[in-house]
Chain A
Amino acid sequence: MGQIEWAMWANEQALASGLILITGGIVATAGRFTQWYFGAYSIVAGVFVCLLEYPRGKRKKGSTMERWGQKYMTAVVKLFGPFTRNYYVRAVLHLLLSVPAGFLLATILGTACLAIASGIYLLCPAGGCAWRAVDAHRAQAPGAA
């Protein structure tokens, strides 16, 4: 189990949670449920989480499968430096973001999923936990596959 990069799964889970938050938020806002403003918050939080988590970080070992079109978001994520690079910061951020959505039934699933993603990010070993951008232009040896 030592070689598992939990951050990679946390990234998938967080991206899914973002989508769930957006969906729950849309349902709550469109249906004008009681306290639907939490739904509006949930949409915004969901979009933010999705944008942050969309670019997949570079794996420590082996090649990383990039998501389609992720290089545009990579540039933005790189801008924020340690706030987006450090996985512990992401863990705390996701935990805080998930709390307000927990007040509404429509978005509580998003809360649970984002909290779980936050927990998985915390499984990262100390000192080895940083998001690194996948380089768009890799220097290639001639003829390398």
Chain B
Amino acid sequence: MGNWVVNHWFSVLFLVVWLGLNVFLFVDAFLKYEKADKYYYTRKILGSTLACARASALCLNFNSTLILLPVCRNLLSFLRGTCSFCSRTLRKQLDHNLTFHKLVAYMICLHTAIHIIAHLFNFDCYSRSRQATDGSLASILSSLSHDEKKGGSWLNPIQSRNTTVEYVTFTSIAGLTGVIMTIALILMVTSATEFIRRSYFEVFWYTHHLFIFYILGLGIHGIGGIVRGQTEESMNESHPRKCAESFEMWDDRDSHCRRPKFEGHPPESWKWILAPVILYICERILRFYRSQQKVVITKVVMHPSKVLELQMNKRGFSMEVGQYIFVNCPSISLLEWHPFTLTSAPEEDFFSIHIRAAGDWTENLIRAFEQQYSPIPRIEVDGPFGTASEDVFQYEVAVLVGAGIGVTPFASILKSIWYKFQCADHNLKTKKIYFYWICRETGAFSWFNNLLTSLEQEMEELGKVGFLNYRLFLTGWDSNIVGHAALNFDKATDIVTGLKQKTSFGRPMWDNEFSTIATSHPKSVVGVFLCGPRTLAKSLRKCCHRYSSLDPRKVQFYFNKENF
């Protein structure tokens, strides 16, 4: 529990402040429109739904300001760099930018629903009071017409008995932009569900650019001044609290009260979104500028099971372990940028990524590089992004668990640890590593296999065989493989991987593993790092609690939720 608080206090505080601001803005605007005398007559027709609509509008403005900021990844990198004096836990919160973006999006959807429902009631009220012939205050107010000389001091946007609410919706700027914005929002949300994002990324990426219509619509939504309040002048002359009761006598010459005059509320959304839009435009310009910088591909390696390794160089590029880059290949798709974890160590003089065929873009890229006789396609790179996983080097004993594709960042980490170990780097506190690799079958990761083999060889040469202790778990086994393994039990190297350490079948029994580690290192602080599914994170966290000794001087397991 203490571990969780230390890691997450900033996120919780941030979310509480954000929710608190939403509630405050909503209640504040609601009370303003519910109590202010300026809207006394408007409320006579509309009731409380006016205040509801305006309150949700203010929250929409606030959240629309926030929505563009978390996706400015270069801005966030800049913040991360300038705040290097802040603790790493604080800076790691910047890695949750997309989670915050989604939360703000959900809030926008909620307030959009409230806003639309409130306005539906408003339009219905306006329509009814226009139709009413009972001489009530509402019908008199509705009859104030549009074509008076001073720009019209009307209250009810529905001008004639025959005008339908649908007509007003589609011919007023507010209505039309509202419909366009809402449809854009709905399309963006349905194409951004996790299933669609993971399976058909292009659908998500291109549809999400409909946000341009949302932002433009928001900017001009309030231009028509359809929310009307009484003018200052009119309130001084005939204050609603004095004159409302005597509305039948407004037209009498000797009455103190005149007909009230109304003016539209000026648009204010543009003030909220101007700054984030400018920041976002700068972000896109910066991305474009960075992408134009030349990337030199120094080596192309085609690994088995259609895995492409690209080793590259770019001027001014410096990376840390666990970071990722965005890659674009203009000859395949001009607009798509895809993220890849860096698999090289910072100590190497190039940076590399391993690309697996997992969709249209990756397959086309691999095919383009496979062509023997055509020139190598040009690659653009943006990055690196992400908080570095420096914590790995701080623990005396490190337990690294990579599941499936999650093994990729560990390529960078293992290589870096090995380089630091060879140079006896002081920053490296690690004395022993336990690496668990869990995957269905090693085919797509045979490149990682080769990495482990070469590390194994180097360790033998240096006489440090015990430094890296790794186990491979194949979860997609069948009786053939097991039979074969049983026959070759005595061989020195494993038949599946060719590594000295044998492959195990099925999933690791974490209780056994943790208790073995706890027994071997009774006084150490052990850091556990995972890149894999959430269910695995839960089991590992549980084991960490269970096997950490109550005595702080004895073995302690710390589970690190790394954001790869």
A32 to B, closest residue via Cβ:
B124
How far, in Å, is A143 (CB) from chain B's closest CB?
A: 5
Majority-rule SS of B interface residues: helix
Contact B124 A34 (CB under 8 A): yes
- Which of A5, A59, A109 has the most chain B CB atoms closer than 10 A to its own CB? A109
Q: Specify which chain B residues have a CB less than 8 angstroms from the CB of A4 in the assembled complex.
A: 200, 202-203, 360
Q: Specify which chain B residues have a CB less than 8 angstroms from the CB of A2 in the assembled complex.
A: 360
Count how many chain A residues have C-beta atoms less than 8 Å from C-beta atoms of the other chain: 35
Contact B476 A144 (CB under 8 A): yes
A12 to B, closest residue via Cβ:
B190
A64 to B, closest residue via Cβ:
B195
Contact B124 A31 (CB under 8 A): yes
Q: Specify which chain B residues have a CB less than 8 angstroms from the CB of A34 in the assembled complex.
A: 124, 127
CA distance A6 to B206 in the complex (A): 14
Interface size class of B (residues with CB under 8 A): 35 or more
B359 sits at the interface (CB 8 A)? yes
Q: Specify which chain B residues have a CB less than 8 angstroms from the CB of A116 in the assembled complex.
A: 183, 187
Contact B187 A105 (CB under 8 A): no
A105/B169 contact (C-beta < 8 A), A1-B202, A9-B190, A31-B120 known: yes
Within 8 A of A (CB), among B454-490: 475-479
A130 sits at the interface (CB 8 A)? no
Q: Specify which chain B residues have a CB less than 8 angstroms from the CB of A144 in the assembled complex.
A: 440, 475-476
Contact B195 A106 (CB under 8 A): no
How far, in Å, is B507 (CB) from chain A's closest CB?
A: 8
Contact A112 B179 (CB under 8 A): yes
B195 to A, closest residue via Cβ:
A65
CA distance A116 to B180 in the complex (A): 13
Q: Specify which chain A residues have a CB less than 8 angstroms from the CB of B191 in the assembled complex.
A: 9, 12
Contact B195 A8 (CB under 8 A): yes
B199 sits at the interface (CB 8 A)? yes
Within 8 A of A (CB), among B533-559: none
CA distance A115 to B22 in the complex (A): 34
B117 sits at the interface (CB 8 A)? yes
CA distance A13 to B185 in the complex (A): 12
Contact A145 B475 (CB under 8 A): yes
A35 to B, closest residue via Cβ:
B164
Contact A143 B475 (CB under 8 A): yes
Contact B476 A13 (CB under 8 A): no
CA distance A59 to B199 in the complex (A): 10
Contact A142 B478 (CB under 8 A): yes
CA distance A40 to B347 in the complex (A): 67
Within 8 A of B (CB), among A1-41: 1-6, 8-9, 12-13, 16, 20, 23-24, 27-28, 31, 33-34
How far, in Å, is A60 (CB) from chain B's closest CB?
A: 11
How far, in Å, is B366 (CB) from chain A's closest CB?
A: 14
Contact B360 A3 (CB under 8 A): yes
A142/B479 contact (C-beta < 8 A), A13-B187, A34-B124, A109-B182 known: yes
A113 sits at the interface (CB 8 A)? yes
Within 8 A of B (CB), among A38-63: 56, 59, 62
CA distance A28 to B124 in the complex (A): 10
* 0/1 interface trace, chain B 172-196, chain A, CB 8 Å (1 if under): 0000000100110011011101111
Contact A105 B477 (CB under 8 A): no
Q: Specify which chain A residues have a CB less than 8 angstroms from the CB of B193 in the assembled complex.
A: 12
How far, in Å, is A83 (CB) from chain B's closest CB?
A: 24
Subset of 20 A-B contacts with CB under 8 Å:
A3-B360, A4-B202, A5-B199, A6-B203, A9-B196, A9-B200, A12-B190, A13-B186, A13-B190, A23-B117, A31-B124, A34-B127, A65-B194, A106-B120, A109-B116, A112-B183, A143-B478, A143-B506, A144-B476, A145-B475
Beyond A34-B124, A112-B179: 19 further Cβ-contacts under 8 Å? A1-B360, A2-B360, A4-B202, A8-B199, A9-B190, A9-B203, A20-B186, A23-B113, A27-B120, A27-B121, A34-B127, A65-B194, A65-B195, A105-B165, A105-B169, A112-B183, A142-B477, A142-B478, A143-B478
User: Chain B interface (Cβ within 8 Å of chain A)?
Assistant: 113, 116-117, 120-121, 123-124, 127, 165-166, 169, 179, 182-183, 186-187, 189-191, 193-196, 199-200, 202-203, 359-360, 440, 475-479, 505-506
User: Chain A interface (Cβ within 8 Å of chain B)?
Assistant: 1-6, 8-9, 12-13, 16, 20, 23-24, 27-28, 31, 33-34, 56, 59, 62, 65, 105-106, 108-109, 112-113, 116, 141-145
- 7 nearest CB pairs, A to B: A145-B475, A12-B190, A13-B190, A143-B477, A33-B124, A4-B200, A105-B165
